[in-house]
Structure 1
Amino acid sequence: MSSLLQPSIFEPQAAPINRYAELVEREGIAWVLRFFPSVALSPGRLRKLQAAKFARLAARGLPRAPLAELRLVCDWITWLFFYDDALCDDVAAAPDPLRRLHEAQVRMSAVLRGSPALEDDEPLVHMLAELGARTAAWAAPGFMPRFVAEVERYFQSNVWELRNLLHQLRPALPIYLKMRPFTGAAGVVFALIELIRHESLEEVRQHVVVQQLELLANNAICWANDIGSLEKELVEQNPHNLVLVLQADQGLGLDEALARAVAMQSAEEDAFDALAGSLRDYAGLSSPAVLGYVADLGSFVRGNFVWMHETMRYRARLSMRSYGSAAA
């Protein structure tokens, strides 16, 4: 079995990289080590962190972002991957895992809303408290409640995934397609794109065309990740993958399901490009702020493709699972 994504899509010129990429990558690793200092003493775990190249996803997705803005998005993306691996994956093996996940999410929501982190909180909570404060410092009035709600929708989708895993349920295709935009946390990143542009788009993002552009970009990113992570999720027996859901729901062979997923992903990207090209026909959507935001969404779709080829997260099945606790 081999990926059907065209090789040219992974070539670096398909997505230019931010000039600060190497700097924020070094700073991002140093930021992680502040919360997990023992990792610096473990060459194997440090190499794993370096090979994941989390910062390069933001650097590919936001090639024009200034340094401070890129640094914030990089750290958020790093936290999201750590949270996904170190908490969501590990908690499935804990006693009463749904309760454990709920308690952790309640605590994280509290610090994101401004409650101070406590000495005995997990490193992930301390990381989030710092990120929340940094985000709030740049936020326009009304942004933080919207942003926290987006993060909490991501948390809620984690519960859905964990319940499926605990009960060995493979989601039906219609349900999976509705839930996937939340489980990938792309909406959190899209909100951060609005933040770092320093232009409030609260009203414009309610426009049906902008919402559909966000959904198309979200699908294009998440379905590409499903295709790129297929072998990893086959090994992990994780049913939350578009290819595997198509295979089970439509009675397809694996290669046929993969081909169908690739076609679906490509169609979402084409639809995004077509709809983005029509923005000037809609009153209020031709401003530089809106055009710039949509251009950044498109950059993230392309940047995600190239990053998937650069990171070892999927090819070597890297996980941040062992970084999850203070004892890590």
Structure 2
Amino acid sequence: MSIAHELPVTMEIPALWCPVEHRLHPEAEGADDRLFLWARKFDLIRSDAAADRFYNAGYGYFCAATYPRARRLDLMSEWNAYNWILDDLLDEGHADTTHEDRIRICREVLAQMPPDMNAPRPTSPLTAAAADLWERSARPMSVAWRKRYVAHYADWVGQSMLQHVPDEPRDAASLYTHLRRRRIHSGCELSFDLIETGNLSEVPEEITSVDAYEAVRASASDAICWTNDVYSIRKETARGSYDHLVPFLLDQQSTDWPGALASASAMIETATRDYLAACRDLRALRPLFGMPDEAWSRVEDSMNDLGLWIAGSLHWHRWSPRYSVVETTPDGRTPSYIEWHVA
């Protein structure tokens, strides 16, 4: 991808439309402190640079905003922080790893998430933390939920690996191809699955594979991951990564950065409106499923929780320094806060 312009020193993020009011979990206070202790316990945070970045990002606060109804907020925080650490290792630590290293890391992590709960013994901080999270998350859930989560997790880490395949040319993608890849790389699907174990309430299996329900999740995912793309421009471009929505639009539309941001903002609003329309469509189809009220209430909860995720994610992105404070590294080298957790 050829980027026509350098990123401006100052650039205003446009106001993004969201009709859902964000909420905070009642246990939001202290969430970051509890999360930091968990990360230290599993040796996921070692250096001062990593500790400062982890704590200041407010991952516990993020989950208090995106999972405001969760019965198990700390578990949600630990999963999301773990996934951010893994994502940073795969995405920003690629200068210090080979493609074979990244394949091995992903395979070892996925091995800790067997649907039959018969995982190998962990051999590193990264796998030990994964084993802890999987045991507490998957044990109360159905085998169907476990398989769904693992499939979404494999999609996510697989797409992360594809971004740094050595000597592999990436053809100029169409908008459709770019958005398909971005949706998978966002990790939203696995984050949505976590809503169910966080609430200890599964969406009925007969609904999870229905196109109308998948449309609700897909449109919510688009709104969320494109919002991330708007706020993460400086971090991604500082790492030489342009495989996100705003740089893509900048290149494809032959526009400038403000123009690309305006286009992305309009797409986020469209995706959010699509989410609302998809919810209405699914509700209109309820008579076809013949579900009792209790089962359908879980479907309604899921739709509402996705709306809260959209609102909570936007609220956190406006607040968190994760993307606004960027460490500059020479020659694309690995940032100081990336740590090696596989041994």
Tell me the TM-score normalised to structure 1 length: 0.88
Q: In structure 2, which of residues 116, 120, 124 is the aligned counterpart of residue 116 of structure 1? A: 120
Cα distance between partner residues in 2 of 1:7 and 1:194: 27
Which residue of structure 2 aligns with residue 307 of structure 1?
A: 316
Counterpart of 1:227 (choices 206, 227, 230) is 230
Matched, 1:325 2:327: no
2:101 alignment partner AA: R
How many positions carry a matched residue from both structures? 317
CA-to-aligned-CA distance 1:165-215 (integer Å, 9 cap, x gap): 975776543321111111111111111112233333222111111100100
Post-superposition Cα deviations, 1:5-42, rounded to whole Å, max 9, x if no partner, equal 32786xxx941210111233221110000122773xx5
Q: Is the 8 A contact 1:226 1:241 kept in 2?
A: yes
> Could you say if the C-alpha distance between residues 247 and 8 of structure 1 is closer, same or farther in structure 2, counting changes exceeding 3 Å?
closer
Query: Cα 1:249–1:239, aligned 2, differ >3 Å: closer, same or farther?
Result: same
Distance (Å, rounded) in 2 between the aligned partners of 1:266 and 1:53: 26
Task: Judging by fraction of residues, say which structure has more helix.
Answer: 1
Residue 26 (structure 1) aligned with residue 33 (structure 2)? yes
Taking the aligned partners of 1:4 and 1:307, their CA distance within structure 2 comes to 14
TM-score (normalizing by structure 2)? 0.84
Report if the CA contact (8 A) 1:165-1:238 is conserved: no
Read off the aligned partner of 1:59 and give its amino acid letter.
A
CA distance in 1, matches of 2:166, 2:213: 31
Partner Cα distance (1:84, 1:37) in 2: 13
Q: How far does residue 122 in structure 1 lie from its aligned partner after superposition? A: 3.1
Aligned match of 1:188: 190
CA distance in 1, matches of 2:80, 2:102: 20
The Cα offsets for residues 249-284 of structure 1, whole Å up to 9 and x where unpaired, read as 222222211111111011101121233234431123
**C-alpha distance 141-93 of structure 1, shift in aligned 2 (>3 A):** closer
Structure 2 gap segments, 5+ residues each: 1-9, 328-334
User: 2:24 corresponds to which letter in structure 1?
Assistant: I
Q: Hey, what does 1:107 align to over in structure 2?
A: 108
Answering whether residue 159 of structure 2 is matched by residue 157 of structure 1, we say yes
CA gap 1:37/1:248 in 2 versus in 1, 3 angstroms = closer
State how far apart, in whole Å, the 1-side matches of 2:251 and 2:166 are. Answer: 15
List structure 1 runs of 4+ shifted beyond 4 angstroms: 164-172, 318-321
* In 2: Cα distance, 1:324 partner to 1:273 partner: 42
State the 1:300 CA deviation.
0.2
Query: In 1, are the aligned partners of 2:13 and 2:231 still within 8 Å (CA)?
Result: no
For 1:135, the aligned partner's letter is S
What's the % identity of the aligned pairs? 22
> Distance between the aligned counterparts of 1:57 and 1:182, measured in 2?
21
7 and 199 in structure 1: CA distance in 2 versus 1, 3 angstrom threshold: closer
2: CA distance between counterparts of 1:200 and 1:320? 40
Distance 1:44 1:110 in 2: 30
Question: Residue by residue, what CA displacement relative to the aligned partner does 1:72-111 show, whole Å, maximum 9, x if unpaired?
Answer: 11111001100011243213433xx221111111111111
Instruction: Confirm or deny: 8 A CA contact 1:228 1:314 kept in the other structure.
Output: yes
Contact 1:164–1:170, Cα closer than 8 Å, also in 2: no
Q: 1:290 aligns with which of 275, 296, 299?
A: 299
Paired amino acid for 1:58:
C
Amino acid aligned to 2:316: W
